[in-house]
Structure 1
Amino acid sequence: MTGEPRCEISGDLLRITLARPDKANAMRGRDMAVVLEALEAVAAGRTARAVLIEGEGRNFCAGADLVSANPPGGDRPPIGTMVRSLNTVAHRVIQTLWDLPVPTVAAVQGRAAAFGLNLALATDFVVAAESATFGYPFAQRGFTADSGATYLLPRLIGVARAKQMLIRGTVVTAPRALEWGLIGEVVPDGELTEAAARLAVELAAGPTFVHGLTKAMISDHLTSDLPRALAAEARTVELSLRGDDFKEGIRAFLGRRPPRFTGH
């Protein structure tokens, strides 16, 4: 289908490219379904050990394509349609990406807005071009945020700043986003593709089983207390010590050589 995301496996890396540059990579339902299918294959352990999400052209992703979903002059959808459609595709994409047991990277240039911004924030590492911008136009369009915005944003930048973005519609530049903790790295525009790919390849070559366990604990402990976090860490250390990557890490350390991790 024209403009559908490209999902390509290169070695241990799944590279997802949003491919509607003429629409700022705004995503239709079928585009989200393609991404979801690729992510679910990774979650099942069938394809890759890391994921890189990027956008073709000048922008990362301007959000969901509301015009395609609600054409002018079309019939008003029945009550409950939006709830069903969000839970069927868009929210499943965010949840699957958030829970993915391998490292994930987003390479952001131009606009990252609404669903597109949440898609980036649900990854583990956001690398942004200096000219990138981040924003939520929900309130300015007369509706509330979805796809994880009210969960992800306060945890990353705090309640006051989240309200600036979600209620006032404040658009944040890449340097400010880095300062606020919204993203992890800013690079010159011309270096974005290489920098994000380099990080993704590095992560794919790492102890991805351990990375997955660490990700799960970080997510769980956002709403936990210290005693439960410590107990979970003890259990997880026990589990990771039984993996092949731990044995390889020790062999590499003793042999004074770089480890060759397999994710097992």
Structure 2
Amino acid sequence: MITAISGPLASYAAQHLRLDIEGGVATLTLNRPERKNPLTFDSYAEMAAILRAATHDDAVKAFVVTGAGGNFCSGGDVHEIIGPLLDRDTKGLMQFTAMTGELVKAMRACPQPIIAAIDGIAAGAGAIIAMASDIRLGTARAKTAFLFNRVGLAGCDMGACAILPRIIGQGRASELLYLGRSLGGEEALAWGFFNAIHEPDVLQGAAAKLAREIAEGPNFAHAMTKRMLQMEWAMSLDQAIEAEAVAQALCMTTQDFRRAYDAFVAKQRPQFKGD
């Protein structure tokens, strides 16, 4: 099982999913299309390790997470994960649930914004990966389902009860987590779960374009925005304002801030470098 990655991601050969890096954008593709891209113990761990390693890789400025073959992710593999879990004791089950939670922690902790491109099925842990991303693009035919109750489990999985209500509201999150029903693409857009929907044949291009636009921006500042979005969940308004004052002052020490001013004076578009 992959637990750590050393060195830049550009030289890393992923074993349990596909990793492509181009122009500062890293694309993670869950690549088992014949099974609708289910997760395994190894792909959980490898994806988390890649995102952890990205914290120290300045060349990667944004992520796209997607699935191959017209589906996003069908959740944990029934045969490779669900079946073996039935033979584990409580300690072993806790080790598994802690490991799955580490993926969401890695997604929220990595400084790079993450865009999920969601077509077809996004179920169980697949829905969680979509939820834990910063921005979600989908298709009208996408079906997102937090279906844990359908297999006799609680909806409180991998941070769902903390994150999902903040995206779509408490009542709508409760409905999805209690019923386990699928959220269609148009409904996901109306509820604010999807930022936009596209035709399936242009979804990947739209996600890549958005990721490139983010990658061309002030990356230190983007990382600060992501960090503050995370931290301020647990702050009062006064605390948030004070924390943002410190964060913004730090951003004002960057060369990107000076470049933006110089470009404005010269009536040019700033070329950000992340320093």
Which range, TM-score by smaller chain?
Answer: over 0.9
1:148-174 deviation digits (Å, cap 9, x = unpaired): 211111111112111111111121111
Q: Which residue of 2 aligns with 1:56?
A: 68
5+ long unaligned stretches in structure 2: 1-12
Normalization by structure 1: what TM-score?
A: 0.94
**In structure 2, distance between residues paired with 1:13 and 1:234:** 29
**In structure 1, distance between residues paired with 2:15 and 2:68:** 10
1:18-53 deviation digits (Å, cap 9, x = unpaired): 100111111001011221221112112354111111
Alignment pair present for 1:149 and 2:160: yes
Q: Which residue of 2 aligns with 1:238?
A: 249
Amino acid at match of 2:193: L
Amino acid at match of 2:222: H
Query: Which of these residues, 25, 28, 37, is aligned with residue 16 of structure 1?
Result: 28
SS in structure 1 opposite 2:83?
A: coil
CA contact (8 A) 1:41 1:47 kept: no
Alignment pair present for 1:166 and 2:177: yes
SS in structure 2 opposite 1:71?
A: helix
**In structure 2, distance between residues paired with 1:75 and 1:121:** 27
**In structure 2, distance between residues paired with 1:262 and 1:176:** 38
Q: CA deviation at 1:80?
A: 2.2
CA contact (8 A) 2:128 2:146 kept: no
1:80-120 deviation digits (Å, cap 9, x = unpaired): 212112213x2111111112212111100001111111111
Alignment pair present for 1:249 and 2:260: yes
Normalization by structure 2: what TM-score?
A: 0.90
5+ long unaligned stretches in structure 1: none
- Amino-acid identity (%): 30
Amino acid at match of 2:36: A
SS in structure 1 opposite 2:74?
A: coil
Amino acid at match of 1:98: R
CA contact (8 A) 2:143 2:184 kept: yes
Amino acid at match of 2:174: K
Alignment pair present for 1:225 and 2:236: yes
Q: Which residue of 1 aligns with 2:110?
A: 100
How many residues align? The count is: 262
**In structure 2, distance between residues paired with 1:2 and 1:155:** 33
Q: Which residue of 2 aligns with 1:125?
A: 135
Q: CA deviation at 1:3?
A: 7.8
Give the direction of change, closer, same or farther, for the CA distance of 1:98–1:2 in structure 2 (3 Å limit).
closer
Q: CA deviation at 1:71?
A: 3.5
Q: Which residue of 2 aligns with 1:81?
A: 92
1:233-262 deviation digits (Å, cap 9, x = unpaired): 111111000011111111111111111111
Amino acid at match of 2:115: V
Amino acid at match of 2:189: L
Q: CA deviation at 1:66?
A: 3.3
